[in-house]
Amino acid sequence: MQIVCNKKVNRLPVPTWSWLKINDSQMNFNMDVKQEEIECSRTVPSGIRLMEKEELERILPAVEEIKTGMGEEVGVFLHEMQTETIGYLAEKGCMAEDPLLLHYTSRDQGASFEDQIIYAREGSEITVIMDYSSAKDSVSLFGIRTRIYAEKNALVRVIKLQLLGEKADHFDDIGAVCEDGAKVEVVQLEIGGNRGWAGCHTRLKGYQSSFESGTGYLCREQQKLDINYAAVHEGKKTDSRMEVKGALLDQAEKVFRGTIDFCRGAKGSVGEEQEETLLFGRDVINKTIPLILCGEEEVEGNHGATIGRIDEALLFYMQSRGIGEDEAKEMIIRAGIEAVCRRIPHEPSVKLVQSYVEEVFQNET
């Protein structure tokens, strides 16, 4: 079966010079693979449940209004692929002690997709941890869209661990809406795969709602990764914090767009975005686009990016203590990934990431 896609995704909310080629990305593939039902093993904790079809139909009008980081064309593609929608519900006041665990496996010569809804009712708390894997040499296509609705005072943590094989293409699209006092936390690790697109759009609709994200990536060889994050402040005294850490090796390419948008009426809101990118190859390509949009005066927005190679003084210090340049590089990359892993409240998932990274560096040597 030939699966063809040519969609415009990850658009900047306000375009800049076209010659920079950063206003958007083209998600394109033409792959002779077999579309099949997604392979997912689930561990569903007490207080969280899969939604029945009737429940999904009742909440769909609210969910369909949720914008996602990659944009509406992902929804068009999923519709073309007749993708099933899966919904998870946290009941009102539910404080789930254990995470909802979702393990996805992408098969060789296979293509699989999922359209996912996470709905947290008032005062509930839910943690969702999902990891994606495939065999090292398998050629595959994997895509997922996650839309989150957090009612008043709800807390939703979503952790995504992309650990696919080096010949897998993938996309991972997130959208969220937060009502009064609600909070959404997103942790995203992009370590494996071949070509990848990721996005997250969070609408801080309610008073004192908040969004926090920790994103980590490791791109090597000819990997390409395109990311688009946006925090849209609508309610008063809303808060957003985005932190991105990553490393590029060999001939890898990465684009990160990070937008903080203060809408009219978002008085007293605060937004912050920080990125640290380490470059470990002369042929790597990095593009970072931090953007602050402001339609309200009484707000505070901060952004910054640190992009470059290993500090010479640090490298000299490490070498003077018997640590070679390659070993120093590995230690610094691991430290960045570990910093993101500290946001994962599930030790087996952390060990899964550590094991994958260990295998990556073994293959590098």
What is the full DSSP assignment across 77-128? HHHHTTPPEEEEEEPTT-B-SSPEEEEEEEPTTEEEEEEEEEEE-TT-EEEE
What's the burial of 32, exposed, middle or buried (CB within 10 Å: 0-12/13-18/19+)? Answer: exposed
Q: What is the pTM of this model?
A: 0.95
Strand-pair partners of 83:
none
Cα angle 124, 126, 129 (rounded to 5 degrees) comes to: 170
Please state, as a whole number, how many other Cβ atoms lie within 10 Å of the Cβ of residue 249: 20
pLDDT confidence of residue 322: 75
Average confidence (pLDDT) per 10 residues, the chain, 365 residues:
92 90 93 91 94 90 93 96 94 93 94 96 97 92 97 98 96 98 98 96 98 96 96 98 94 96 97 92 91 94 81 69 76 89 95 93 72
Helix axes 312-319, 325-341, angle to 10 degrees: 110
In the DSSP assignment, the letter for residue 316 is H
Q: Report phi then psi at 280, rounded to 5.
A: -120, 20
- Could you give the CA distance from residue 346 to residue 361 in angstroms, rounded to a whole number? 23
- Parallel/antiparallel/unpaired status of strands 2-9 and 25-32: antiparallel
pLDDT confidence of residue 281: 80
